[in-house]
Each structure stands twice: as C-alpha cells, then as structure tokens.
Structure 1
C-alpha cells in the first residue's frame, strides 16, 4: 500500500485529539505522529507520548536547522511536526496521523503531496464554548479562542473531508471509513494492478 499522511484538524476544543486516540485503539495500520510544543503539559499528558514538550530555545533551533515539517505559533506557544517523527512512521509502512491546526495542514500538504486532510467541526458554537470552558484555565483567552475558531472554520473548504463531532462514536467511525476508502483508491493500488498486468503477458 502506498502509505499516505492523514491530517486531522479542528478548532481548539473541537475534539480532534480524542477522536484520533479512539481511532488508534482500533486501527493498527495507523500511528499518531508525536508533535512538539513549547506549552506546559496538561494533567495526565506525558512527554514523548502526547507531545514532545520542548523549550522555546530547542524549538527555535529545530526551525533554524530545517528539522520541522511544519510549525506555527498558536496562543503564544510553538507547535509543530518534527520531520524525523513523521518520516519514521512512513518508513514502517504505517499511516502517519497528524493532529495539527489549520495552519499546519497547508504546509504538510505542500511537502507531502499524497496527504489527506480531515476537518472536525463542533456541532455548534455553544457546544465549543462549553468544551473550552470545561478545560483547566478555560476562561483564559476564551474570546480570542472563539474568534480564532471562527477563522479556522472559514478554511474548511480547503480540506478533503469534514466530520461533525456531535457524537464521539460516530465521529470515530466516520474517520475510520475515510481511512478505509483512501486505502482502496485506485492510485494507491497501482502496484497490485501492475503485478496482475504483468502476469497476463
């Protein structure tokens, strides 16, 4: 199979991380790429599993030395995808799953032409606000986060697929079906098709 990069994006609080974590419990052909950030770990998050928690100095050094597949500064913190983390998953023949923001998907698609992008929509603005407020420190910058979310949703037409996250199970199943469909696209089955053509000769 011609492995492809799967990008999953949503506004902050949209549920992208939860959906991907549930998906990976069932799909062994996909693996989440651990991205890097300079923000502090949230309760229960582990370095190297949820994120690579880097210092600002280390992150800026990685940018300078062209070691990032993409990066952005979001709400005063750096987020990005180390090239090494992404390429390691591809070399194993697995589908790298990137949980990144809207800014990041454009950069990834530029460098990885076969990337597939999925946007997770909240069911409503009220629900998104409720989710953000439920987070530790959720009242901080809530207006800024909602304003940013509206700008991100405006970019939804640039994505290949859209999932409305009104029920977790439904959203996970929808993402699983997208992966299944992408695996069976004609262009990804060319090696198998060519083998059959050769045997006919």
Structure 2
C-alpha cells in the first residue's frame, strides 16, 4: 500500500471571525493536521519562539529565498516580509499530514496557481454586528483600528465564493465539527483512494 499524501488546506477569514480558535481546537483533536509556520523578518514578540509562531529571519535571508523561488506565497506588510516556504509544506504533505495555510484571499490565489489541489475553507461570522462585538471584546484595539478592521473585513468576505467550503462560526462547537468533517471527508476522495489502495481495487474488480 502506498503512503497517503496529505492534503493542503487554505484557511481564510476576516479578523475576529474565530479562525485561530477553530484551527487550534482542530489541532488538539486531529493528530494528522499541522499548521504551516511562516517566515518573517519582523522581530519576535514576547513569548514567541523561532519555529513555533514563525521562522524569524533577516531581510537579506528572506530576499535570498525569494530569489530562489522558495516561497509558495510572500508579501510585504508595512516594513516586514512574510512568506510560506514550499519545502516545509511539501515535507509535511509527504509524511501524510494535512497542512493548514492560514492566509488571506490574495495569498490563496498565489498558492492555487502553484498547487491547484489546495482545498479552500472560508470562515464567516454570523453577522457584521457579531464581528464588531468580537473585535471590541478583545480589548486590544482602539476604536479607529476596529473601524479599519471592519472595513477590511467586508472586502475580504466578498471573496468567500473562491473557496470550496464556507463555515459560518455562530456556534463554536458546531463550526468546529464542520471543520473536522471537511478534513476527514477529504481523506476519502476517490483519487486518493485510487492511489493508496490500487491493489485492493484491482482485487475487488478482478
């Protein structure tokens, strides 16, 4: 039997939709899932570790990786660079692990160009008012920052139909069950079963 290769998932959502809480809960319950760790040139924040939250590199190293075509996708956000390493993703997929890329819709388009089999999941809030309440409830952003996030959220959410799955995060446990179901179901797609169980299929049909 051939070892089953993992699936690459793109997970996107506006800030405050609960995406991070959902994938962290998924990681705790599904040992076959990993979250991609991006490279960045920004300095580590208190409590962050190299290789856990990010791979922290200097600008010259990051630019060298761009020149070597080492990234699935990369972007400059203000004064810092962020990017997703191809090799790190491929290594996990070859181990049979499902990998989550937590990126926005623009990064998702870049990834799909390089890896058309990527499976997109978009997380939506149950309403704009609920989204604003969640952002306000964090207690970390000023009113003008929340207003900018809300404006950006509407633009981001307009791209939901570019994704294979949409999960509305109204009830957290229900949304988590839907997320789990997407991952489990995609491990039984016909092309994957044909690849790893070719001998069985030949025996059954002979």
Deviation at 1:74, TM superposition (A): 4.1
**Unmatched runs of 5 consecutive residues or more in structure 1:** none
Q: Which residue of 2 aligns with 1:172?
A: 176
- Contact 2:41–2:58 (CA under 8 A) maintained in structure 1: yes
2:121–2:165: 8 Å Cα contact kept in structure 1?
yes
Distance 1:130 1:197, change over 3 A: closer
2:189 alignment counterpart: 185
Can you give the 5+ residue segments of structure 2 that lack an aligned partner in the other structure?
none
Structure of higher CA gyration radius: 2
Alignment of 1:81-120 (within 5 A): 81-120=84-123
When residues 168 and 57 of structure 1 are mapped into structure 2, their CA distance, relative to the original with a 3 A threshold, is: farther
State the Cα RMSD in Å: 2.4
Describe the superposition over 1:118-165 as per-residue Cα deviations: whole angstroms up to 9, x where unpaired: 001112222222333344641263333222211110001000000111
* Residue-by-residue CA offset, 1:82-134 (whole Å, 9 max, x unaligned): 11221221121111111111111111112112211100111222222233334
Residue 4 of structure 1, aligned match among 4, 7, 11: 7
Q: Helix, strand or coil: the match of 2:24?
A: helix
Does the 8 Å contact 2:121/2:163 carry over to 1?
yes
In structure 1, the partner of 2:160 is 156
Q: How many residues align?
A: 201
Aligned-partner SS, 2:83: strand
CA distance in 1: counterparts of 2:148 and 2:41, whole angstroms: 19
1:123/1:44 CA distance change after superposition, 3 Å:
farther
Q: Is the 8 A contact 1:72 1:103 kept in 2?
A: no
In the other structure, the counterpart of 2:74 is: 71
Q: Which moved more, 1:168-177 or 1:76-85?
A: 76-85
